[in-house]
Structure 1
């Protein structure tokens, strides 16, 4: 049973106050970061390093507190993330008014993937389209939940938020990828619902819960986003850049956030990214679907579903049509890029209960239609 929270999605607007009219370049990371807008992505605010690093930028899409359309609502926090070599996109334009929707998070992902593959774009080849995180604060966290089943998303981050109604619990049941909660402790108005969500997560899902006793307002307005900014950077470095040193802040009884000001809970967390090697035996099925096709490229998803028995891992034999080639793939590990390709599960989505499904996705060049898929499992 969830606690009724009348109007708590508007509390963030009161707590945070107005965003600065002008925001300085900065952040504590190795790349000074700033924000910009794009005519190709209206009603959004894009945070990026001023000077692009040599490595590609993982993507972080963000829903603001109170679902505010002001993309500077959590400016210090998002600029800090960008300064560590990420592309962060907030719903809403700089100092804009009104409210946002969850579909705007999907628009951010679509735009970033298109810009990464568009010749002439400043982001051409600069975005790691296989590493995408979604997050949000308060009402923005509800927006993040709403799109968390997008197969392109690597991990979900929920800040001081929780589902408002038990009828929405299906959003928890469909989670297949790691999730992290950062909450303001028992004085946070979203605390009861966040903890209710925590108790209902699917068995086997990698999950982290951190409570810092700062209340619902968090630390977003502090220099570099304060403590929430610091831990968000660590989490994204771990999940999107494979930085196991950063991951030690979250994993194990002696984790970096354990035993200090954070109250920590963990589920199914490991530092390693080893992929279980499935053996033939357990029945499973795979369904291939083209999500988007354009002149010269496509995006497709493959849904893997366990049969009558549980599986500890899966392998999909993917037969691509002539002339098609995989340029990026998420939520799976691929061997090969053309012709006959083998895709195995990641460490976090191999275990499936009987009848349970998970999805991996890919972006490629050429025509994606007519591919074949065959699934085996263990």
Structure 2
């Protein structure tokens, strides 16, 4: 209920956010070393592709974007996206140039599918030119809701939420399934999305690397300013860190004396380290653990369930849970674990941040499924 009033206001705002003044004139091609522009592709209809005019020798990480207002105009935040592309990224906005109508979260997935396919297609200008292991999803306002919806895609490296927050408590499962680093860039207390964004921040999974930055510019952000303004500058820094491993850029976000901590931004941090995560667990055969399964919600045709993993008398460096799903049941999304398969016999292993457990300590993961949660079996082995 705490979102209802803000949700109604934000729902109205996201539909109108792109109706402001025309974008300011940006520096040609953005401020980065690779002057950028946009194009379209017949094999990716209703999208706008921002890229360096001359593709550099380095492979380009990928950034897929949902526009403010869920607008199908792929030029809605053109200064911002061209700026990102000029620093050596492929940025794809849902919606064609100056197109009308509305977008959907599925269009972000289409952007990822297309980029991955083009990178492996002989004859494509992007053949071998993209880093498909480094993909970020982001969106502004209504587009941020679309970004949330696809953030559990196993190909996504990080999620960026700009002036957005879930509108209903019923959607909080999207927070519980987050497993990759997330960053919020919000327009301060005057931003209509501020209460929802801060509520989401308080509900993030324990151990999830997360950044929250507030800049007192209101809901409209700085996207229309030359090179995307301050939001464009910090977005480039964050993507350089998360998608290119640039720890100098990362120092703007991590640590008590981070670069943005000493600026006009109001900063909060959770579990941020410049190194980018814990090393993978080592195998220790014979380690023991137990798993318990509980259906948290069931409705006609679907359910949400949780699994608690508890270490035995010795510490664990990692765990593996075997799920046995009866006929007609399948997993549609899963959080705080990594699943192999979606129906029948499914193996779920830990994420980097919840695998190490002291003796008797527990970790949890959850999933949403189709069918019935009744009759699902679980068994755990430790490493």
**TM-score for the superposition, normalised by structure 2:** 0.77
How many angstroms does 1:101 deviate by? 0.3
Mapped partners of 1:176, 1:315: distance in 2: 16
Matches within 5 A, 1:1-378: 1-5=2-6, 6-12=8-14, 14-16=16-18, 17=20, 19=22, 25-273=28-276, 274-280=278-284, 281-283=287-289, 307-309=309-311, 313-314=317-318, 347-348=352-353, 350=355, 354-356=363-365, 377-378=382-383
- Structure 1 unaligned regions, length at least 5: 286-304, 317-330, 333-343, 359-374
Residue 111 of structure 2: SS of its match in structure 1?
helix
Q: Deviations over 1:72-130 (max 9, x none)?
A: 00000000000000000000000000000000000000000000000000000011010
How many angstroms does 1:313 deviate by? 4.6
- The question of whether the paired residues in 2 share the 8 Å contact of 1:9 and 1:138 is answered with no
How many pairs does the alignment contain? 321
Mapped partners of 1:8, 1:272: distance in 2: 36
- The question of whether the paired residues in 2 share the 8 Å contact of 1:282 and 1:307 is answered with no
Q: Structure 1 residues 270, 376: CA separation in 2 closer, same or farther (over 3 Å shift)?
A: farther
Q: Deviations over 1:314-372 (max 9, x none)?
A: 489xxxxxxxxxxxxxx99xxxxxxxxxxx987556468534269xxxxxxxxxxxxxx
Give me the CA root mean square deviation. 3.0
Q: Structure 1 residues 278, 66: CA separation in 2 closer, same or farther (over 3 Å shift)?
A: same
Residue 265 of structure 1: SS of its match in structure 2?
strand
Mapped partners of 1:227, 1:180: distance in 2: 15
- The question of whether the paired residues in 2 share the 8 Å contact of 1:155 and 1:177 is answered with yes
Residue 96 of structure 1: SS of its match in structure 2?
coil
Q: Structure 1 residues 21, 3: CA separation in 2 closer, same or farther (over 3 Å shift)?
A: same
How many angstroms does 1:259 deviate by? 3.0
Mapped partners of 1:307, 1:227: distance in 2: 43
- The question of whether the paired residues in 2 share the 8 Å contact of 1:182 and 1:228 is answered with yes
Q: Deviations over 1:106-158 (max 9, x none)?
A: 00000000000000000000110100000000000000000111111000000
How many angstroms does 1:24 deviate by? 7.9
**TM-score for the superposition, normalised by structure 1:** 0.78
Q: Structure 1 residues 350, 113: CA separation in 2 closer, same or farther (over 3 Å shift)?
A: farther
- The question of whether the paired residues in 2 share the 8 Å contact of 1:275 and 1:345 is answered with no
- Structure 2 unaligned regions, length at least 5: 292-306, 321-335, 338-348, 368-379
Q: Structure 1 residues 253, 141: CA separation in 2 closer, same or farther (over 3 Å shift)?
A: same
